[in-house]
Amino acid sequence: MHKSDHQLTIAAIGEVLWDVYHDQRTFGGAPANFACHASALGAHSYLISSVGSDALGQQACQFLNEHHVQLDGVHCDTQHPTGQVQISLDNDGVASYEFANNVAWDHIQLDANIIKIASQLDAVCFGSLAQRSEKSAAAIFEFLSFTPKHCMKLFDVNLRQDFYNKEVIQKSLDACNAIKLNLEELEILAKMLKIRGNMEDFMLTIMRRNDLQFAILTGGADGAWLFERTSYNFSRADQSVEVVSTVGAGDSFTATAVIARLRGLELVESNRLANKVAGYVCGQKAAVPIIPAELIEPLTTTSPLAEPATPAS
């Protein structure tokens, strides 16, 4: 399928799994959530991952299909089960995670069709969690190597348990041209990479050191910052939102901010829209709820940038 002149082609590569709460099981995985949100926001969206040949794998593919995510890059693994993660929510709706080991997304593999997908992308999102497996880590970096020069390659830091180290972080920074992290992850990276100073100093330093063109820093209920090389914007979160769960909110923010920038929106408007979408997701139980049309419309009526990964001057 060929994209239209005004449809962006976006992919996420990494984990797809089921979030298991005490009372229910919901679809999840940061890359999978990102791919679903990107599709909802008007992109031609792919997920590059692996599921088991079990009932949960079938349900995951069904979920992705219902959310109009292309399944060409989702491999069916007959040797390993579909991923699951036990999630606990505290009184503020903030999640903690316990991941199953040696599951299908630890065995991501590429083929000629997936490499072709990589060559057509306007943006791709990848994280640190899927790099806990050497096989999936190798697949991620090989996939990134086939993307076009103009492609926004966004590293969603997404630190979970002990599934990261300095080598994983630095290799990911070397491979990306954009980054997304939260305030807690900023503190960890600042110590790990020996970057001193305040939040702004850290963001500008890490962008300069790694030649990054765009950065997202989320601050939970306070709001978020978007950075380019020479400017940044802070936007407050909607304080009227009654938080049900924060699961998936960061992924929806990331997808919205990326698409807004690819569509040519300024930092201020990109941040405002991303906060609105993330606020809506925080008010829902599911990580990938149906996004209201009024939140999608501003992202589907503007013209894409000629070179999406290049910041506005």
Distance, in Å, from the CA atom of 50 to the CA atom of 108, rounded to the nearest integer, reads 5
**93-104 pLDDT per residue, tens:** 777 778 899 999
Q: What is the mean pLDDT of the chain?
A: 89
Least confident residue range of 91-95, 156-160, 261-265: 91-95
Distances (CA, A) of 154 to 53, 134, 157, 165, 219: 30, 20, 9, 18, 18
Average pLDDT over residues 102-131: 97
Q: Are 249 and 276 a contacting pair, CB within 8 Å?
A: no
pLDDT value at position 147? Answer: 98
pLDDT value at position 308? Answer: 40
pLDDT value at position 206? Answer: 95
**DSSP 8-class letter at 135:** H
Average pLDDT over residues 242-259: 85
Task: Give exposure, 117-151, as e/b (b: 16+ Cβ within 10 Å).
Answer: bbebbbbbbbbbbbbbbeebbebbeebbebbeeeb
Single-letter amino acid, residue 43: A
The answer to whether residue 134 scores a pLDDT higher than 50 is yes
pLDDT classification of 309: cutoffs 50, 70, 90: very low
pLDDT classification of 23: cutoffs 50, 70, 90: confident
pLDDT value at position 18? Answer: 93
pLDDT value at position 300? Answer: 76
Q: 71 or 159: which carries more pLDDT confidence?
A: 71
pLDDT value at position 301? Answer: 64
Least confident residue range of 100-104, 209-213, 287-291, 307-311: 307-311
The answer to whether residue 19 scores a pLDDT higher than 90 is no
Token pair belonging to 19: 């979030």
The answer to whether residue 236 scores a pLDDT higher than 70 is yes
Q: 235 or 240: which carries more pLDDT confidence?
A: 235
pLDDT classification of 310: cutoffs 50, 70, 90: very low
Distance, in Å, from the CA atom of 29 to the CA atom of 290, rounded to the nearest integer, reads 17
Least confident residue range of 154-158, 225-229, 247-251: 247-251
Distance, in Å, from the CA atom of 137 to the CA atom of 122, rounded to the nearest integer, reads 21
pLDDT value at position 311? Answer: 40
Token pair belonging to 158: 């997404």
Task: Give the residue ranges of DSSP H helices in the chain.
Answer: 30-40, 55-66, 112-118, 134-145, 166-175, 183-192, 199-209, 249-262, 267-282, 293-296
Class of domain 9-299: alpha beta
pLDDT value at position 2? Answer: 36
The answer to whether residue 150 scores a pLDDT higher than 80 is yes
Q: Are 64 and 36 a contacting pair, CB within 8 Å?
A: yes
**DSSP 8-class letter at 256:** H
